[in-house]
Amino acid sequence: MPLWPLAQARANKWRPDLTKTVRPEPVEGLAGASTGSARTELAWAGFKPTKPKFIGKRVFRNFDLAELAKYIDWGPFFQTWDLAGPYPAILSDEVVGEQATKVFADGQAMLKKIIEGRWLSANGVIGLYPANAVNDDDIALYTDESRSTVALTWHGLRQQTEKQEVDGAMRPSRCLADFVAPKGEADDYVGLFAVTAGLGVEKKEQQFLDAHDDYSAILFKSLADRLAEAFAECLHQRVRTDLWGYAPDEALSNEELIQEKYQGIRPAPGYPACPDHSVKRAMFELLQAGDIGMTLTESLAMAPAASVSGFYLAHPQSTYFNVGKIGEDQLSDLADRSGVAVAELKRWLGPNL
Ligand code: SAM
């Protein structure tokens, strides 16, 4: 797919569609606001961000594993065993049903032991900060409401492949910064989090390995991964309904949470909308993730392995997308914005070049 120059992609950025969100009553002079220049100018005018209950960090230590178990998405559990198919249908699948049912029963039994025997502990930390989009594609998180001191800048990447009109509307060239109000438009907020359910994994895993029980070792590690993802889901729900509180009336089943039916997203560095892993260093520093036993390896993998980190964006129209291929112009622009040399950026962003 041919690429547009970065400037053209930026001019085609995503803007909130006021006909779908935030402005319930018709506003004079805003007719046709969903297309054309009126929309461009007024895009953020009616947006009223919800102010979180607190600004800064909150730590969760030794989180109740039984509570986390309620949030487990069992779907990916079967992939550990190369068993393909959606849960729970996989349990009665003609081909893999029998094997899936066996590992599921083993998983349930071990999960009970993990909880009762406290084989693992789960720690997490979240942060909620005043934030705005700056320099088109970056999100600046500020230490306080004065928005004068930057706590962390998350440098975004923007889709650069040529876009086309679909049903008379140009598809936007997306960047996560588009979902946050630009500085001066509205006092917006962004959150971030780091959670782990992998504290204690190594000791127990070693016991299984010493007993030449590889099956239990793998089962155990996959359950730690499930609990870490469940922790991310559980805290995100608390953030939406209470701590940030932008969706206080949300009432979703676990199935609906897994289907991401809630307002807002939690993009994770390294995933398609934000392929650059390097922001994890700044995230871990701001959250002081070391204090809860979480660190980063040289290659920016999280340790313990059963960990999840990401950002919280609240905009009702925020969605995941794939940045895809970017051009040399965006790479050098990112180098200017971030102060990281082009050569190093190339190392991290290889698949997007
Ligand atoms: N229920 C799943 C589980 O338990 O494994 C949740 C994890 S799954 C990897 C989905 C998560 O991946 C999202 O919550 C988000 O953090 C991340 N994610 C998915 N698509 C993404 C994208 N395009 N850009 C950024 N993050 C993405």
Domain 48-62+121-198+224-352: assigned CATH number:
3.10.196.10
Q: Which of 157, 229, 323, 352 to mutate to test the pocket of ligand 1 (most atoms within 8 A of CB)?
A: 229
**Sequence spans of domains, the chain:** 48-62+121-198+224-352
| Mean pLDDT, the chain cut into blocks of 10 residues (353 residues total) | 96 80 43 42 81 98 98 96 94 96 98 98 98 97 98 98 94 97 96 98 97 98 98 98 98 98 98 96 98 97 98 97 98 96 93 96
CB contact at 8 A, 141 and 214: no
pLDDT recorded at residue 73: 97
- Is it true that the peptide bond before 26 is cis, omega within 30 degrees of 0? no
**Nearest partner of 269 among 217, 323, 331, 314, judged by Cα:** 323
pLDDT recorded at residue 1: 86
pLDDT recorded at residue 6: 98
CA–chain centroid gap for 149, Å, is 24
* 3-class DSSP assignment, residue 87: coil
Two tokens, residue 197:
């359910």
């998405």: which residue's tokens?
A: 73
Q: CA 126 → CA 287, 288, 295, distances in Å? A: 7, 10, 15
CB contact at 8 A, 309 and 268: yes
Which is the closest atom of ligand 1 to the Cα of 230? 4
**DSSP of 174-211:** --GGGGSPBTTT--EEEEEEEEEEEETHHHHHHHHHHT
Instruction: Give the binding-site residues of ligand 1, using a 6 Å CB cut-off.
Output: 73, 76, 229, 258, 266-268, 271-274, 310, 320-322
Q: Taking the alpha carbons of 310, 10, 174, 49 in that order, is the dihedral positive or negative?
A: positive
Q: Which of 71, 77, 271 to mutate to test the pocket of ligand 1 (most atoms within 8 A of CB)?
A: 271
Q: Is the pTM of this model over 0.85?
A: yes
CB contact at 8 A, 14 and 174: yes
Give the burial class of 258: count Cβ atoms within 10 A of its Cβ; 0-12 exposed, 13-18 middle, 19 or more buried: middle
Q: Which of 73, 262, 311, 320 to mutate to test the pocket of ligand 1 (most atoms within 8 A of CB)?
A: 320
Question: 104: CA distance to ligand 1 center in Å?
Answer: 23
